[in-house]
Chain A
């Protein structure tokens, strides 16, 4: 269970404090596929950063499995992110000098998984997301956008996280490929019982998720 309770995030700007996320509360049961929608600047990416412990909230608590992750120290946060969170970014964010396989092996290495096991798990994941053996040793620059996003999803799944956070995962893809990626995430949520939170402004995608939250000016205005 992901439980967000009265979370706010303020930033200091030249004119004073800006509230990017303002008193937001919601809950997501395990294995749910939910979306957060809103216009540009509504605070959805900041909220995703807070859920992924990339930022600490100014106020409020974020509980995952009954544990307040916002109160963890820096060292514990790194370990938490490594084991419990998987990120999927709009522009994929694969390391350009590593092959698809090596990109997926990277978080497994951070978690201390032995090399042979790492390779096997990465190959399985890449096969699962549809990247066949002949493309697994290619650098990201030699893969299409859709393929790169599949690799990014495989990387997010590497350490079997309980929560996957995806920021505009179809934003850089054509509608057909975007649809395939969405289906992939949906299926993973089902098969792996992983909670997936997707930030998007694509209402057609949001409509197909188990639940959808709308943000406006940092506030959660509707489900």
Chain B
């Protein structure tokens, strides 16, 4: 009988004890596997998020927030220097403002903070937002697919209409990195001053407008040049005009509230970001999509770290379980080891026999562990990610910048908020993690089991080597 067969048979000498050992080992290996699955799923998600964000750099005025951006804008001349930098292929500049619907009443507790910019009676429009709010909802209203918090709670007046964002941009083909689809009419020229605008299909439907219709903003009549869709609900509330037009209408000549620079290659993202920071100095906050992605996936990185350390901990626990088991077995069978050595077995042969016994425990434990891993991998991953994202969501929704998104008036208020919402969309996708249990995971599981067996039986092997064959005579 070879040592492998003998080792396997020895593993079942005491069936009840062996079953208990295998079950405990199975739990340990199962936990290792669950953590491995979570770690791999989260790593894949982080990679995909980073890959999906692309090669863009966001430029915002320094220290910009929804409430403090007064006299703190970028200028088109600054951004012209950025456009001239190597590897920068395009700079999409925007100047964003908020328009209040004529006749709309804002709640007293809603945006009564020192709202930024030039909130005044000229920031009025004849348009009504297509996004509706459930006014009976107390502090929280939901409507039109959106969910909004009112700072401090309170009732919304029945005549309240959500403020509308007006965006002046030199690149009307996209809005904050999201491509627009023109459904009718012709796209406006982003660099020419003209009293025409692009509005969303939802906005047109809400206000019974079509291409060629007119509406008022800043007491100026604008003509609808095109209708667009973008696939995002936040864009439904937007009016797009050319950058010079918005600068003129809002009396912010040469100002820009945000810009997105596109770099020719992801490989040049870091160098281009540094170059833009050098050009703009302390006047702007420059964030590459890579950095944005890092911020976005921060909760996932926490899950990744937790799952990694849990994986290490579970493997060590498994190693300790098998280590203690094998020490106990070797101590119990000192006499038998002595017999084997006395009748001609070498140290190596006896050690290998006990290792195969340890391997039997761990492989059968691994089978139990694999079942646990396959069943528990996905739910545990979802739970870890969900808990992590819940904490992030609470932080985000309590931020005043979100409320400022719909605040009355204030030049440039939209840029930062739009950017935050953009990340929010990415963030919401973080929940959608599917943990796959593939062959590689199963192989890792068995690999971990073998590793645990080797680690666990190492000390036992040393003890076996120290057993002298004459002990069999002493115990007579």
Question: What's the nearest-Cβ distance from chain B to residue A62, in Å?
Answer: 14
- In the complex, which of the residues A54, A93, A110 contacts B468, with contact meaning CB atoms closer than 8 Å? A54
- In the complex, which of the residues A45, A75, A78, A83 contacts B473, with contact meaning CB atoms closer than 8 Å? A45
Are A81 and B476 closer than 8 Å at their CB atoms? no
Q: Which residues of chain B are within 8 angstroms of A54 by Cβ–Cβ distance?
A: 342, 468-470, 472-473
Interface string of B320-346 (1 = CB under 8 A from A): 000000000000000110011111111
Are B346 and A75 closer than 8 Å at their CB atoms? yes
Q: Which residues of chain B are within 8 angstroms of A111 by Cβ–Cβ distance?
A: 344
Within 8 A of A (CB), among B419-476: 468-470, 472-474, 476
Are B343 and A155 closer than 8 Å at their CB atoms? yes
Main secondary structure of the interface of B (DSSP, over half): helix
Are A110 and B476 closer than 8 Å at their CB atoms? no
Interface string of B331-364 (1 = CB under 8 A from A): 0000110011111111101000000000000000
Question: What's the nearest-Cβ distance from chain B to residue A114, in Å?
Answer: 12
Q: Does A129 contact B (CB under 8 A)?
A: no
Are B339 and A95 closer than 8 Å at their CB atoms? yes
- Kindly state the separation between the CA atoms of A97 and B470 in the bound complex, as whole angstroms: 22
Q: How large is the interface on A (under 10, 10 to 19, 20 to 34, 35 or more residues)?
A: 20 to 34
Q: Which residues of chain A are within 8 angstroms of B10 by Cβ–Cβ distance?
A: 97
Q: Which residues of chain A are within 8 angstroms of B345 by Cβ–Cβ distance?
A: 78, 110
Are B473 and A109 closer than 8 Å at their CB atoms? no
Are B2 and A109 closer than 8 Å at their CB atoms? yes
Contact stretch, chosen from A98-106, A178-186, A190-198, A206-214: A98-106
Once A93-B335, A98-B1 are accepted as A-B contacts, the answer to whether A167 and B343 lie under 8 Å apart by CB is: no
Nearest B residue to A53 via CB reads: B469
Q: Does B9 contact A (CB under 8 A)?
A: yes
Are B470 and A106 closer than 8 Å at their CB atoms? no
Q: Does A90 contact B (CB under 8 A)?
A: yes
Are B476 and A90 closer than 8 Å at their CB atoms? yes
Q: How large is the interface on B (under 10, 10 to 19, 20 to 34, 35 or more residues)?
A: 20 to 34
Nearest A residue to B346 via CB reads: A78
Are A82 and B344 closer than 8 Å at their CB atoms? yes
Q: Which residues of chain B are within 8 angstroms of A91 by Cβ–Cβ distance?
A: 476
- In the complex, which of the residues B1, B339, B340, B470 contacts A49, with contact meaning CB atoms closer than 8 Å? B470
Are A93 and B472 closer than 8 Å at their CB atoms? yes
- In the complex, which of the residues B2, B343, B473, B474 contacts A82, with contact meaning CB atoms closer than 8 Å? B343
Q: What is the total of A-B residue contacts with beta carbons within 8 Å?
A: 70
Q: Which residues of chain A are within 8 angstroms of B6 by Cβ–Cβ distance?
A: 98
Question: What's the nearest-Cβ distance from chain A to residue B238, in Å?
Answer: 79
Are A81 and B346 closer than 8 Å at their CB atoms? no
Within 8 A of B (CB), among A64-80: 75, 78-79
Are B339 and A167 closer than 8 Å at their CB atoms? no
Q: Which residues of chain A are within 8 angstroms of B470 by Cβ–Cβ distance?
A: 49, 54-55
Interface string of B269-286 (1 = CB under 8 A from A): 000000000000000000
Are A81 and B344 closer than 8 Å at their CB atoms? yes
Q: Which residues of chain A are within 8 angstroms of B343 by Cβ–Cβ distance?
A: 81-82, 86-87, 106-107, 110, 155
Once A48-B473, A54-B473 are accepted as A-B contacts, the answer to whether A97 and B342 lie under 8 Å apart by CB is: no
- Kindly state the separation between the CA atoms of A78 and B340 in the bound complex, as whole angstroms: 11
Q: Which residues of chain A are within 8 angstroms of B340 by Cβ–Cβ distance?
A: 106
Once A78-B346, A110-B349 are accepted as A-B contacts, the answer to whether A105 and B1 lie under 8 Å apart by CB is: yes
- In the complex, which of the residues A45, A86, A109 contacts B476, with contact meaning CB atoms closer than 8 Å? A45
User: A86, A109, A111 — which one has the most chain B CB atoms within 10 A of its CB?
Assistant: A109
Q: Which residues of chain A are within 8 angstroms of B476 by Cβ–Cβ distance?
A: 45, 89-91, 167-168
Nearest B residue to A83 via CB reads: B344
5 additional A-B residue pairs with CB within 8 Å, beyond A82-B344, A95-B336 = A48-B473, A78-B344, A79-B344, A98-B1, A98-B6
Chain B interface residues toward A at CB < 8 A: 1-2, 6, 9-10, 13, 335-336, 339-347, 349, 468-470, 472-474, 476
Residue contacts A-B, CB under 8 angstroms, 23 given: A49-B473, A52-B342, A54-B469, A54-B470, A54-B472, A55-B468, A55-B470, A78-B341, A82-B344, A83-B344, A89-B473, A90-B476, A97-B9, A98-B1, A98-B6, A102-B1, A106-B1, A106-B343, A109-B1, A110-B344, A110-B345, A110-B349, A159-B344
